[in-house]
Amino acid sequence: MLENLKQKFPNALTNKKDTDDISNYVWFEDFRSILGIPRSEITAEEIRLLELLFVPSINPNNLNAHPGSSWKNFLSEPNAPLPLSSWENVRFLHFKLTHADFSNSDFEGAFLAFVPSDAAIIWENETAGVLIEPDKDEPLSNKELIAITSTLESDFYVKTRMFTGRFHPVDQDLRHHWTQEKKCFEVAQVHLPDIKVTDLADIIPYSLINDPSFKNANWFINEILGKTKQDTELIKTVKTYIECNSNATYAAKQLYIHRNSLQYRIDKFSEKTGLDIRNFRHALTAYLILLLND
């Protein structure tokens, strides 16, 4: 049956010796033969389907679990291929340690004990790295991450700072998101050094100050608003609410809607963007993003 797949994937290989780098292929076996399909020619959905029919010769999750894996190559090498993975969406949790007078493997083991079982840590150097968290279970909240950092600090006597990114599809754009988030984390470490866990809502005002040309404005808009930016009624409601000093009664009168309708739209915006605009810091971030979107 594997032989029939050659018609769909003409560049597939039937022998691992035919390539210098077997990690560039997705390998499947049956009782008679083996087939390696180029990763650039197969989708994640197709991989999952074939995994139900055949035995994977290389376990994709094992590739995610080791610092020397294709994940590290993908993030650090501009031309590296997308890692073989059954994950559909992931987010990056960037972390930085003040020192590393202990084994990275010991810290990694302690960290992974708090997160989903198939998450992976990639070390960039002795004191910095990124945890790749798949979108399978309930994602770790910032509150939970603060508790985790406190535990790690007490166990290893090291200060830990983190930055939580947003979930993105596992595709070629993932490296760009990782790069942008790394820059955001650097901003957080400079301007918010005392906050253990930061995210986009925390650093956007500082990022925009540091980037007066707004060359990354579109990325910030898409990260925060996403498809919400197409909902003109919702955008107008949120902007009016903030301009009314978060006075719901006054904002509802300005918009000629019932106060309950206003509350519903605010809750919807919070759900879609992760911004609670009743909070000053989140309201400031939202307003800046809405102005940029205009």
pLDDT in the model for residue 211: 74
**Nearest partner of 123 among 101, 94, 152, 147, judged by Cα:** 94
Kindly tell me the number of DSSP H helices and DSSP E strands found in the chain: 13, 9
Instruction: List b or e across 130-154, with b for residues whose CB sees 16 or more CB atoms inside 10 angstroms.
Output: bbbbbbeeebbebeebeebbeebee
pLDDT band at 159 (very low <50, low <70, confident <90, very high): very high
Q: For 274-288, what is the mean pLDDT?
A: 91
pLDDT in the model for residue 179: 93
pLDDT in the model for residue 114: 86
DSSP per-residue letters across 187-210: HHHHH-TT-SEE-HHHHHHHHHHH
Q: For 96-102, what is the mean pLDDT?
A: 88
Q: Is 60 exceeded by the pLDDT of residue 65?
A: no
Mean pLDDT, the chain, integer: 85
pLDDT in the model for residue 268: 93
pLDDT band at 212 (very low <50, low <70, confident <90, very high): low
List phi, psi (to 5°) of 95. Answer: -140, 155
Strand partners, 91: 133
- State the DSSP H helix or E strand holding residue 76, giving kind and residue range, or none if neither: helix 70-76
Maximum Cα interatomic distance, the chain, rounded to a whole number of Å = 73
More confident residue, 65 or 142: 142
Q: Is 80 exceeded by the pLDDT of residue 23?
A: no
- As a whole number of angstroms, the distance between CA 196 and CA 245 comes to 29
pLDDT band at 109 (very low <50, low <70, confident <90, very high): confident
**Nearest partner of 56 among 14, 33, 84, 28, judged by Cα:** 28
More confident residue, 119 or 212: 119
Q: For 122-142, what is the mean pLDDT?
A: 87
pLDDT in the model for residue 71: 84
pLDDT in the model for residue 101: 84
Which of 1-5, 60-64, 108-112, 276-280 comes out lowest in average pLDDT? Answer: 60-64
Q: For 47-65, what is the mean pLDDT?
A: 60
**Nearest partner of 28 among 54, 60, 62, judged by Cα:** 54
